[in-house]
A and B are shown apart, each in its own frame.
Chain A
Amino acid sequence: MSETPLLAIDGLVKTYGGPRRAGFGGVGRAAPRLRAVDGVDLTIARGETLALVGESGSGKTTLGRCVLRLTDVDAGRIRFDGMDITTLRGPALRALRRRVQVVFQDPYGSLNPRMTVGDAVAEPLVVHGIARGAAATERVAGLLKEVGLDPTYAARYPHELSGGQRQRVGIARALAVGPELLVLDEPVSALDVSVQAQVLTLLRDLQDRRKLTYLFIAHDLAVVRQMAARVAVMYVGRIVEEGPAEAIFRTPRHPYTAALLSAVPEPDPSGRRRRIVLPGDPPSPVRLPSGCVFHPRCPHPHKDRRCADEVPALRVVAGAQRAACHYAEEPLTRDG
């Protein structure tokens, strides 16, 4: 890949709870207590979909918020289209918001209940000085059509819409400013299966038509499989595995990925696969285990002292597939 990635994240750290650092460079260093994102490196090429997968507390949503510049980071760099956006403020940040937009999980919570659909979609147009008045109304009609809603929906309120329709409005609102990168934070998790399929189809169509780049944050691996060519798996703030979706789904190299995949209930009674049931809960991010953060729950037969002592680096294991496991060369098999 010689082209500059649209998004490049280097050594990103985001902590909560501890006393705030005095400056960005680590001046006045204090002991931060909760490391929500703990040294993440990622890139997304233009037009690509990268899925960020993890369970509650994995840090996936926090990472998304850092990319959106909704929160300041403690360390590391975020570059968008070659430009360092890590500490962007004021008008420059406003300009970035036209290029990076977000769709949240719960359109009910993210739409103002007292605003009509038309006003909600027009709002970003007005805020960014793109269009107002009749021109805005016309743009809104076009956007609603693009997301598969009849333009007459502009006069309705969020409570009059179904979950799927509300999510379409959320998407139209994000598209209004003509962004290049969309952060999709669990965009279909609150929807029914049949509606989920409709919204995922819409997102893929929009990506083709508008040449969009997606950071697709999700916990559902079966959904991820429909959307992303590349997947990154997070566990308590770290990327434990990353690479081509097909390779990861076929041969997960990290035992956590293997457990996640095995836990997905497949709608096929004949394929009742061996489920890897992990003991216990993820560790508290304030008291992380030594060595590999996953080792206390790890079902890998080769687990040993090294796992408790030495933090495994995220390294290339096969092709473009990277994993942070000392025994990634001997992955857990799904049927063994």
Chain B
Amino acid sequence: MSVLEVRDLSVTFTTPSGVARAVDEVAFSLDAGETLALVGESGSGKTMTALAVLGLVPPPGRVGSSSQVRYQDRNLLGGSEAAWRAVRGAEIAIVFQEPTTSLNPVLTIGTQITETIHAHERVTKAAARARAAELLQRVGIADPTHRLDSYPHQLSGGMRQRAMIAMALACRPTVLIADEPTTALDVTVQAQILELLAALKAELGMAMLLITHNLGLAAGVADRVAVMYGGRIVESADTDALFHQPVHPYTAGLLRAAPRLEGPARPQTVIPGAVPPATAWPTGCRFHPRCAFAWERCAADEPPTLSPAPGRTARCWLVEEPDRRRA
């Protein structure tokens, strides 16, 4: 059963150089206990999608009038700010990339965690503090009662991220959004945090929406992967299928470009060019100017979301004309 369903999500920004369509007709659903990775490069719209799911699109961004974010079958986008606040942080929680900037530097870790608890539940100060200590322990911080009185700068990067996760878990959310949760961390610390997230997910039965640019991370933790390019989901599939048989040429190109420890040392081909600005997406398929297979149809008409196989989607005309792949 899906706990979170996003339908026809669009986010636009009006800028001096025109309207930027940062997120365009994005749709996905997340089942209870499932991990979906939203993978994309800078400017693909993945972070804006995450913010929209939490009702946190910064002004002057506008969410499309027909967009829906359905949490347990209720459209949050139609609701009031109070309705958002009841869900945000309690049922849908987020862990941001940079714990240094998302933690308040002048408040202790303990204060910041208990603040979250008090915002959503009526509990005594002592009870909130006891729960905060328990949370720190659970995320693997030694001497948790003492650490409650630490300020963010007194912790290492890895410990700060653990504290952020503790804060996100404070009200036992059903959905955890992890926006590049390990990007700012060293690779050995990253391994610790991934281990922790996997253990917590299994223990608490949370669903996770992992926002990342790192294909390796997605391969390691996600059940399903959705690849974003130009504000759109261009391909989605089960993790194994996506990595072993990518359908969209962008996905295939990204996989070839990704540096790896196994297999050929160097990528044979490189995706040419760069992501165009969101104010000037190309006509037709937004990837066509960089695509090795593109033909007239790709420049003229944008492919809709097609289904190359059950449980898979791809926005690419190759789904309808697979013979062109060999040309």
Select from chain B the residue with minimum beta-carbon distance to A192.
B41
A220-B259, A249-B261, A275-B195 given; A192·B42 CB < 8 A: yes
CB proximity to A under 8 Å, residues B191-221: 191-192, 194-195, 213-220
Determine if A263 and B270 form an interchain contact, defined as CB atoms under 8 angstroms apart.
no
Q: When the two chains form their complex, are residues A265 and B214 in contact, meaning their CB atoms are under 8 A apart? A: yes
In this assembly, does B262 line the interface, its C-beta being within 8 Å of a C-beta of chain A?
A: yes
The residue from A164, A194, A223, A259 contacting B188, defined by CB atoms under 8 A apart: A259
User: Which of A92-100, A107-115, A266-274, A319-327 lies at the binding interface?
Assistant: A266-274
Could you tell me the distance between the alpha carbons of A149 and B40 in the complex, rounded to whole angstroms?
A: 25
How far apart are B179's CB and chain A's nearest CB, in angstroms?
Answer: 16
**Structural contact, A267 and B188, CB atoms closer than 8 A:** no
Report the stretch among B25-33, B237-245, B302-310 that lies at the interface. B237-245
B188 with A193: CB separation less than 8 A: no
Decide if B190 is an interface residue (CB 8 Å cutoff): yes
Roughly how many angstroms separate A264 CA and B243 CA in the complex, as a whole number?
Answer: 17
Contact size class for B?
35 or more
- Separation of A141 and B41 alpha carbons in the complex (Å): 30
Kindly state the separation between the CA atoms of A198 and B159 in the bound complex, as whole angstroms: 35
Across the interface, B258 reaches (CB within 8 A) one of A221, A267, A270, A271, namely A267
Stretch at the interface among B68-76, B249-257, B315-323: B249-257
Give the docked Cα–Cα distance between A88 and B188 (Å).
38
Task: List the B side residues contacting A137 at CB < 8 Å.
Answer: none
Residue A195 CB within 8 A of the other chain:
yes
B contact face: mostly helix, strand, loop, or mixed? helix
Q: Does A222 contact B (CB under 8 A)?
A: yes
Asked if B259 contacts A275 (CB within 8 A), the reply is no
A201 contacts across to B, CB distance below 8 A: 270
In the complex, chain B residues whose CB is within 8 Å of the CB of A221: 187, 261
Q: Is the CB of A55 within 8 A of B270?
A: no
- The CA-CA distance from A192 to B39 in the complex, in Å, is 12
Contact of B157 among A56, A165, A262 (CB under 8 A): A56
Inside 8 A of A259's CB, which chain B residues have their CB? 188
Contact between B187 and A260, CB atoms less than 8 A apart: yes
Which of A219, A249, A265, A275 has most chain B Cβ within 10 Å? A265
Q: B265 within 8 Å of A by Cβ? A: yes
Q: Are B215 and A267 in contact (CB under 8 A)?
A: yes
| A263 neighbours in B (Cβ, 8 Å) | 187-188, 190-191
Given A268-B243, A271-B262, verify A278-B257 contact (CB < 8 Å): no
Jot down 15 A-B pairs with beta carbons below 8 A, ordered by A.
A55-B187, A55-B189, A162-B274, A198-B272, A225-B265, A226-B266, A259-B188, A265-B190, A265-B214, A267-B260, A269-B220, A269-B240, A272-B220, A275-B195, A276-B191
* Further 6 A-B residue pairs, CB within 8 A, beyond A194-B254, A197-B271: A55-B187, A197-B257, A226-B266, A265-B219, A267-B218, A271-B262
The 8 closest A-B pairs by CB, nearest first: A265-B216, A222-B259, A55-B186, A192-B41, A267-B215, A263-B191, A197-B257, A194-B271
Binding site for A on B (CB under 8 A): 41-42, 156-159, 186-192, 194-195, 213-220, 239-240, 243-244, 253-255, 257-262, 265-267, 270-272, 274-275
